[in-house]
Amino acid sequence: MDHQELWKTVLGEIELQISRPNFLTWFKNSQLVDKNEKEGIALVGLPNNFAKEWIKNRYHKIILGSLRNIDGSIKYVNYVVVNHNTPVQVPKQSRKPKDAELTEEKNNTPITELRVDPKTNLNPKYTFDTFVVGSSNELACAAVNAVIDNVGKKYNPLFIYGGVGLGKTHLLQAAGNVVMEKYKGKVNVLYVTSEKFVNDVVWALRNKRAEDMKKKYRNVDMLIIDDIQFIGGKPATELEFFYTFNALYENNKQIILSSDRPPAAIPTLEERLRSRFEGGMIADVAYPDYEMRLAILKTKAHSHNVEIDEKTLEYIATKVQRNIREVEGVLNKVLFYEQYKNEKIDLKKLDDIINETAQLSPKNITANEIIKTVSDFYEISQVDLTDRGRKQEVVEPRQVAMFLLREILKLSYPNIGEKMGKRDHTTVIHAYEKISKEITTNSALNQKILLIKERLFKNV
């Protein structure tokens, strides 16, 4: 049995012992790097430090057990971060969600795309006038503005990350538009999706047109690549990107990147690229709170020149929480019914619209689901999570659960306290504030919360 086969069999065993979401999250890109027959040591490779630490702390026993079951000569397991790994094929899904996201992006591209400037790929519909700034995106906005005023000199690269539909593309495009206007075209901007970049690289390789590729990407003053996570794991593209990146960087040209997750969490990204990304400024866009969703709805309604009943907007802002794209989708439907069909939208109709547009909105998410998802993620029992025991390892999961109950469901502090083992509301406030503060500096914690939210919202 070679390493790959052995590992596949081991994964098969592990999969039976842990939940599927946990399996996919942590083992998707694992591999058996080496096996020292003489000393009986297996070396397991993980894509990044975060995954390595997590797996070592949580799954070591399971891994060792499964390895020994299959290969009795193994006595120890060590873990390493593998920079350039070929991902192990996990049956079903694994790459699917990415493709789905890309398609979603395309389907949502409206006809105004026609006005995109082919030289820059900038769409004038994305402006700062229509972009609402709130607590969830203010850091990212401030960073973008600093870059606009100091192209290539201040934060380079600027790396913006956050979940789907939270405004990354809007922000990046708006930045490009402002730079074009502010510097009267003297600063050349080029915006591409990473999909486009990949296609260009493939095309250039196939047609031996590397020079064209260079010309296109290295003669710009500001290169914006959207959804950079998709270049991870494609060696030729990563290499080309690495050269492009260095060429631009060394000439003080501005690079702005977006991704659905921080560099450390792009599993297939080569280490040297990751460290380049981390060398600049990293800012996140988070889930918008109620006030912000309402402000966005008002801005959008205003830009369509229509008056919509305040109560309706408030209702939408309360119900649709998952992302701004969905908030917008619901609003567009309401506008459609009111303007073109002249139908008055009552509460029942509004509910229908919300249900069909924002199918996965957290209206379906209950406190119990949050508690269950958190305990499943941390692999502790729900009893331990909500119990009054004081075990050190349940402190973080508990605080995270309280934080999410507040953030997603807006439950009152006493109510959360009640659900979490009859704790005092001051304990809940403390937990909420602690986690809110910590996620801005502790990227591992932030990453965990993103992963938990992803499970909740995607129902994986």
* Site residues for Mg ion per CB under 5 A: 168-169
User: Can you list the pairs that 18-23 forms with residues at least 24 positions away whose Cβ atoms lie under 8 Å?
Assistant: 18/59, 18/62, 18/379, 19/376, 20/460, 21/376, 21/377, 21/455, 21/460, 22/376, 22/377, 22/379, 23/90
Instruction: Compare residues 221 and 260 and give the one whose CB is closer to Mg ion.
Output: 260
> Residue 239's closest CA among 187, 282, 202?
202
| Span from 307-315, 321-329, 376-384, 409-417 in contact with ligand ADP (CB under 6 A) | 321-329
Beta pairing class for 76-81 and 254-259:
unpaired
Question: Which alpha helices (DSSP H) does 71-159 contain, by range?
Answer: 96-107, 138-149
Shortest Å distance, C-beta 168 to ligand ADP? 3
Beta pairing class for 189-193 and 222-226:
parallel
Binding of ligand ADP at residue 164 (CB under 6 A)?
yes
Binding of ligand ADP at residue 168 (CB under 6 A)?
yes
> Residue 325's closest CA among 290, 355, 291, 358?
358
Task: Please give the Cα distance from 234 to 221 (Å, whole number).
Answer: 25
Shortest Å distance, C-beta 227 to Mg ion? 6
Q: Which does 325 bind (CB under 5 to 8 A by kind): Mg ion, ligand ADP, none?
A: ligand ADP
Task: Please give the Cα distance from 140 to 163 (Å, whole number).
Answer: 13
Nearest residue to ligand ADP, scored by beta-carbon proximity: 167
Shortest Å distance, C-beta 349 to ligand ADP? 23
Binding of ligand ADP at residue 326 (CB under 6 A)?
no
Per-residue x/- mask for ligand ADP, residues 111 to 130, rule CB under 6 A? -------------------x
Among 44, 77, 132, 213, binds ligand ADP (CB under 6 A): 132
- Cβ-based burial of 452 (10 A; exposed 0-12, middle 13-18, buried ≥19): buried
Binding of ligand ADP at residue 417 (CB under 6 A)?
no
**Residue that has been written with the tokens 């080309």 in this structure:** 240
Shortest Å distance, C-beta 154 to Mg ion? 23
Binding of ligand ADP at residue 176 (CB under 6 A)?
no
Among 328, 376, 407, 454, binds ligand ADP (CB under 6 A): 328
Q: How many alpha carbons lie under 13 Å from residue 236 in its C-beta half-sphere? A: 11
Binding of ligand ADP at residue 165 (CB under 6 A)?
yes
Q: Which does 411 bind (CB under 5 to 8 A by kind): Mg ion, ligand ADP, none?
A: none
Among 128, 131, 183, 337, binds ligand ADP (CB under 6 A): 131
Task: Please give the Cα distance from 328 to 131 (Å, whole number).
Answer: 13
Length of the chain: 460
**Residue that has been written with the tokens 């990563």 in this structure:** 238
One-letter amino acid of 103: T
Instruction: Compare residues 52 and 170 and give the one whose CB is closer to ligand ADP.
Output: 170
Task: Please give the Cα distance from 6 to 67 (Å, whole number).
Answer: 8
| SS3 label, residue 40 | coil
Cis peptide before 157 (omega within 30 of 0): yes
Instruction: Compare residues 99 and 424 and give the one whose CB is closer to ligand ADP.
Output: 99
Shortest Å distance, C-beta 1 to Mg ion? 43
Kindly identify the residues of this chain, within the stretch 287-306, that bind ligand ADP according to CB under 6 A: 296, 299
Nearest residue to Mg ion, scored by beta-carbon proximity: 169
Task: Please give the Cα distance from 303 to 126 (Å, whole number).
Answer: 12
Instruction: Compare residues 42 and 164 and give the one whose CB is closer to ligand ADP.
Output: 164
Structure tokens at 242: 């690495």
Shortest Å distance, C-beta 147 to ligand ADP? 17
| SS3 label, residue 128 | coil
CA 87 to chain CA centroid, Å, is: 20
Instruction: Compare residues 200 and 226 and give the one whose CB is closer to ligand ADP.
Output: 226
Among 14, 158, 166, 409, binds ligand ADP (CB under 6 A): 166
Shortest Å distance, C-beta 119 to ligand ADP? 21
Shortest Å distance, C-beta 127 to Mg ion? 16
Check the CA dihedral 93-95-96-101 and report its sign: positive
Shortest Å distance, C-beta 296 to ligand ADP? 5
One-letter amino acid of 179: V
Shortest Å distance, C-beta 165 to Mg ion? 8
Binding of ligand ADP at residue 439 (CB under 6 A)?
no
Shortest Å distance, C-beta 226 to ligand ADP? 7
Which residues lie closer than 8 Å to 294 by C-beta, 6 or more apart?
313, 314, 317
User: How many residues bind ligand ADP, per CB under 6 A?
Assistant: 16
Q: Which does 167 bind (CB under 5 to 8 A by kind): ligand ADP, Mg ion, none?
A: ligand ADP
Helix or strand run (H / E) with residue 350: helix 347-357
Check the CA dihedral 57-58-63-65 and report its sign: positive
Contact footprint for ligand ADP (CB under 6 A): 130-132, 137, 164-170, 296, 299, 324-325, 328
